[in-house]
Structure 1
């Protein structure tokens, strides 16, 4: 990799990293608000927040595409190793390295928070499913599995009533 203007490249790379950091912080904020809503009872604001999260993911993805395009233009792989190689080639990469490390940490935090939120959502869905099964009179022992692995009640049940 031969860099014609390392100072300009360093500034461009730092600006891209700062953009990714800003977008990651926005995503983390959304994930934390989602977590708070998942712990509550209302689902209406959750739908709006899910749409906001999807939009923020698209904005963050666009920032990462710019980052990867820069790496490809420098004949580097569009991944973590390519970014590390670029940082090694920059003359004074301390500030860019700090931005890179902050971005990596934010992405990891976002992933962990998203996993926690997904676990809460799964638990909530299981609890609702169990409540519905109880109302239908289906016990856990009466459940079977369909061809694609989904759980389903047996054909006979002890339901409390029919609507």
Structure 2
């Protein structure tokens, strides 16, 4: 029967592996978003969902090993109960997992900004196509500038 420290080490290793794969998928997603490759985006979104579910399962498995897991710092408190020879590798594993999760969070924010910028661009294009460009400036016959307004169209067929 593995000790609590061994079980915790295994749980952290598995959780870190899933987080690493999630980060890789999110980096691929960034590239696909920049290329506007909808097929890749769709496939990566499905993989990301699968990995997030697996990460949740790994977290639950780890939490079962940690008394008072709902209290912040419970993992660190548990690790501090072990002798240094056991605690140090466990703490390194926790730190590595936290760093990976931080990187995933940052990558998610980057991807979110790309999606938001793409959405705004599409909305502006659609608005322009529909002739609803209230901020557009047109030039008059006299060479003066005038705002297009919501009811003026660039052209009509």
So what's the TM-score if we normalise by structure 1? 0.79
What is the aligned partner in structure 2 of residue 130 from structure 1? 124
Q: 1:58 to 1:157 in 2, by over 3 A?
A: farther
What is the aligned partner in structure 2 of residue 86 from structure 1? 78
Report the number of matched residues: 143
SS in 2 for 1:110: helix
Q: 1:112 to 1:22 in 2, by over 3 A?
A: same
Q: Detail structure 1 runs of 4+ shifted over 2 Å in the superposition.
A: 77-80, 154-162
Deviation at 1:137, TM superposition (A): 1.0
Does the CA-based 8 Å contact 1:14-1:99 persist in structure 2?
Answer: yes
1:77 paired residue among 69, 73, 76: 69
Does the CA-based 8 Å contact 1:69-1:78 persist in structure 2?
Answer: no
1:25 paired residue among 20, 25, 39: 20
Q: 1:68 to 1:140 in 2, by over 3 A?
A: farther
For the pair 1:44 / 2:39, whether they are aligned, the reply is yes
Deviation at 1:140, TM superposition (A): 4.2
Q: Deviations over 1:99-120 (max 9, x none)?
A: 0000000000000001100110
Distance 2:44 2:156 in 1: 36
Gaps of at least 5 residues in structure 2 are: 137-148
So what's the TM-score if we normalise by structure 2? 0.82
Deviation at 1:160, TM superposition (A): 4.6
Deviation at 1:45, TM superposition (A): 1.4
What is the aligned partner in structure 1 of residue 143 from structure 2? none
Answer with 1 or 2: which has the greater Rg: 2
For the pair 1:16 / 2:11, whether they are aligned, the reply is yes
What is the aligned partner in structure 1 of residue 109 from structure 2? 115
Does the CA-based 8 Å contact 2:134-2:150 persist in structure 1?
Answer: no
Does the CA-based 8 Å contact 1:136-1:159 persist in structure 2?
Answer: no
Distance 2:156 2:3 in 1: 73
Q: 1:132 to 1:84 in 2, by over 3 A?
A: same
Gaps of at least 5 residues in structure 1 are: 143-153
